[in-house]
């Protein structure tokens, strides 16, 4: 009987999780139900069904299907479509409302400091003229 980690998608973490619920062989995995397997972190219902089917095939002596089925591309290389100029422009990150508000707050604080400084300078100049008289 083949080890349970021969099934594609079952790595060390999943293997440890399966062991915690008592599934340590392909026979035990084939006899498991979806609800039991979904208690393991990272195993969805669809993935549990795939694992069970793979374990049943391995128990029967046939090759196990992968847990992550590959797309049928006919053996052709996958080519990503090129982005148009419009797509590239829309790909730029826009500022969120919070970021805009933060920028606005920084600017207003800076203006407030500048305004206070100007008023203080004006008051000093005014006081200096009074003192000279």
For residue range 58-78, what is the model confidence (pLDDT) as tens digits? 888 765 444 444 444 444 444
Using CA atoms in the order 103, 104, 108, 111, what is the torsion angle rounded to 10 degrees? Answer: 70
The mean of the pLDDT values for the chain is: 76
Question: Pick from 90, 20, 123, 9: which is nearest to 55 by CA?
Answer: 9
Q: What is the CA radius of gyration of the chain?
A: 34
Whole-number Å distance between alpha carbons of 115 and 31: 77
Rounded to 5°, the CA angle 49-53-57 comes to 170
Whole-number Å distance between alpha carbons of 4 and 24: 7
Mean pLDDT of 109-132: 73
Least confident of 28-42, 63-77, 80-94, 95-109: 63-77
Q: What is the pTM of this model?
A: 0.47
pLDDT at residue number 73: 45
pLDDT at residue number 35: 94
Domain spans of the chain, in order of start: 4-60, 94-132
More confident residue, 2 or 75: 2
More confident residue, 31 or 118: 31
More confident residue, 63 or 112: 112
CATH tag, 4-60: 1.10.150.20
**Confidence band of 5 (pLDDT split at 50, 70, 90):** confident
pLDDT at residue number 97: 78
């Amino acid at each position: 009987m083949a080890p349970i980690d021969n099934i594609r998608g079952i790595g060390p973490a999943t293997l440890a999780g399966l062991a915690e619920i008592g599934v340590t062989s392909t026979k035990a995995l084939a006899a498991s139900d979806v609800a039991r397997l979904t208690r393991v972190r990272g195993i969805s219902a669809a993935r549990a069904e795939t694992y069970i089917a793979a374990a049943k095939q391995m128990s029967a002596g046939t090759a196990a299907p992968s847990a992550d089925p590959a797309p049928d591309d006919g053996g052709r290389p996958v080519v990503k479509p090129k982005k148009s100029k419009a797509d590239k422009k829309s790909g730029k990150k826009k500022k969120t409302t919070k970021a805009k508000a933060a920028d606005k707050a920084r600017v207003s604080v800076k203006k407030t400091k500048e305004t206070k400084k100007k008023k203080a300078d004006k008051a000093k100049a005014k006081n200096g003229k009074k003192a000279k008289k």
